[in-house]
Structure 1
Amino acid sequence: MSGEPSPDGSGDAAVNDSADGSTDTEWEAVFWDIGGVILALDSVQGAHAEFIAELCERHEVDATLEEAIETWRTTVGNYFREREGTEFRSARDGYHLGVEAIAGEEIPCEEWEPRFDEIVRDSIKPIPGAPETIERLADRDLHVGVISDVDDAEGRAMLERFGVREHFDSITTSEEVGRTKPDPAMFETALEKADVSPERSLMIGDRYDHDVKGAADMGMHGVAFGAEDGPAVSYRIESPAEVLEIVDGQRERTD
């Protein structure tokens, strides 16, 4: 997979602009975030709303569905905001707090988790075109990996649900590393697993600071899919399939 040394003899990957504005980088790896890139976030929100509706009915909660959803969002949001820096916090623990805040009493995990998992499993959907693109990338001489701020088991279950787990060469999660993006440890761990150069690696993400800039700070090339614009964006795509054009050298850099 490695290309020739750069003209200055440094050995770094060459990212040279050709006459038509494309690049001739020989890419070694493509890393994907999960939420908002492979996983459609609105399907997750729908699953949570369905679960909350059932929770309210089961525990006779004196609140509208909208009020209960807002309680869930506030409780889970505060749980994550209270962490120190990029410290990992399990989403499952946050959901447990959300359940108790809505029900107004302590609810054992074994009472709500099975139904929660069932609803999520049946409701989540992939971003259109993402599974097909991942499968096509897997047929190429590239390392295809995941770098995601998810609980390890949940992340792997989502990839299995979408039929793409087998196409990934590596999966790096925040639970495994103990940190969340943009902590350098997330990207360093993934790059070490893949044994690839950051300069020849793409990172596809939907959040500028966490995914795109975090990757760029490590020398990787950030691919913004729904993420805000900024100097760290090397490429911007409107659909997952456009990643194939980048890999094939058919897309211009944004800078």
Structure 2
Amino acid sequence: NKNEVKKYKAIFFDFGGTLMCAESDNVAHLHMMKEVIQKYNLPASPEDMVTKYNSFLFTKEMTLRDADPEEKSFTPLRESTKKAFKGVLAEYDIQPSKEDFQWFSKLFFENHKKYIKLFPETLLILRELKNTDLHLGIISDIDNDFQDIQFKVFGISKIFDSITTSEEVQSYKPKAEIFQVALEKAGCQGKESIIIGDSYKKDIIGGKNMGMTTIWINKFQPDNIDTEKADFR
């Protein structure tokens, strides 16, 4: 409805799991672990190694996806991946050196550049929105350099009018700070904006707390959970 759209000045997207296919991130992890197994001659399958890696990466202390993000202090993604790599090797009594960490950091970026993918509909939607007067923004729990690399890989940097990351603000969604910075960049209030994301706790709850209209991209959670705060899904 064009009249409905006119009341909005900005539309914000989460990135991973919303515009970028989360499964492609897992593919990148599988290829990373294949090389880790080969380098250290480990008796494990890539699938088992990814499970171990994720168990360290996705803990409440380290992850960007923990169950209670309001309670989490800021930890850059690069530090979380470093700790996860260290945790995996520790299970085989291997203490990584400075050179090992440098090797893994390079491996991480190379594999994500190669294997991460956008959802098939992403570019079409973004190009359509670019032809409107809406401010297009990103609000993402990610490090600045990783976001830059992803956008260069996909060639979408110029589509967005603003990008706001957790590293920039030193705060994660659903806390108000990251949303407030994004709204200030767009020059609008929460009630004049839309947030689209796949995380109910981070994107939808965080957006509603700021008065934003919320669109939940629910790809994995069952429909019977308590999701009444999402305006659309």
TM-score under structure 2 length normalisation: 0.85
Q: Quick one: distance in 2 between partners of 1:162 and 1:196?
A: 28
Aligned counterpart in structure 2 of residue 92 of structure 1, from 56, 75, 78: 78
Q: Quick one: distance in 1 between partners of 2:169 and 2:7?
A: 28
Q: Which residue of 2 aligns with 1:76?
A: 57
Q: Quick one: distance in 1 between partners of 2:144 and 2:79?
A: 13
On the 8 A contact 1:86/1:181 being kept in 2, the answer is: no
Aligned counterpart in structure 1 of residue 45 of structure 2, from 55, 61, 64: 64
Shift of 1:84: 7.7
1:213 aligns with 2:205: yes
Shift of 1:24: 6.2
RMSD: 2.1
Q: SS of 2:127's equivalent?
A: helix
Q: Which residue of 2 aligns with 1:13?
A: none
On the 8 A contact 1:72/1:98 being kept in 2, the answer is: yes
Shift of 1:105: 1.7
Q: Which residue of 1 aligns with 2:15?
A: 34
Question: Which has the higher mean CA deviation after the structures are superposed, 223-232 or 89-98?
Answer: 223-232
Share of identical aligned residues, percent? Answer: 28
User: How do 1:1-255 residues align onto structure 2 when only pairs under 5 Å count?
Assistant: 23=4, 25-78=6-59, 79-80=62-63, 85-103=71-89, 104-108=94-98, 109-226=101-218, 230-236=227-233
Shift of 1:74: 1.1
Unaligned runs of 5+ in 1: 1-17, 237-255
Q: SS of 1:161's equivalent?
A: helix
Unaligned runs of 5+ in 2: none
Q: Which string of whole-angstrom CA distances, capped at 9 and with x for unpartnered residues, describes residues 41-97 of structure 1?
A: 100001011101110111111333333222201111223359882422112112112
Q: Quick one: distance in 2 between partners of 1:175 and 1:146?
A: 13
On the 8 A contact 1:86/1:183 being kept in 2, the answer is: no
Q: Quick one: distance in 1 between partners of 2:18 and 2:82?
A: 26
May I ask how many residue pairs the two structures share in their alignment? Answer: 216
Shift of 1:163: 1.5
Q: Which string of whole-angstrom CA distances, capped at 9 and with x for unpartnered residues, describes residues 168-208 of structure 1?
A: 00000000011100000011110011101211200000011
Shift of 1:102: 2.6
On the 8 A contact 2:69/2:172 being kept in 1, the answer is: no
On the 8 A contact 1:131/1:162 being kept in 2, the answer is: no
Q: SS of 1:145's equivalent?
A: strand
User: Could you say which structure has the higher helix fraction?
Assistant: 2
Q: Quick one: distance in 2 between partners of 1:123 and 1:42?
A: 10
Shift of 1:121: 0.2
Q: Quick one: distance in 1 between partners of 2:5 and 2:113?
A: 41
TM-score under structure 1 length normalisation: 0.78
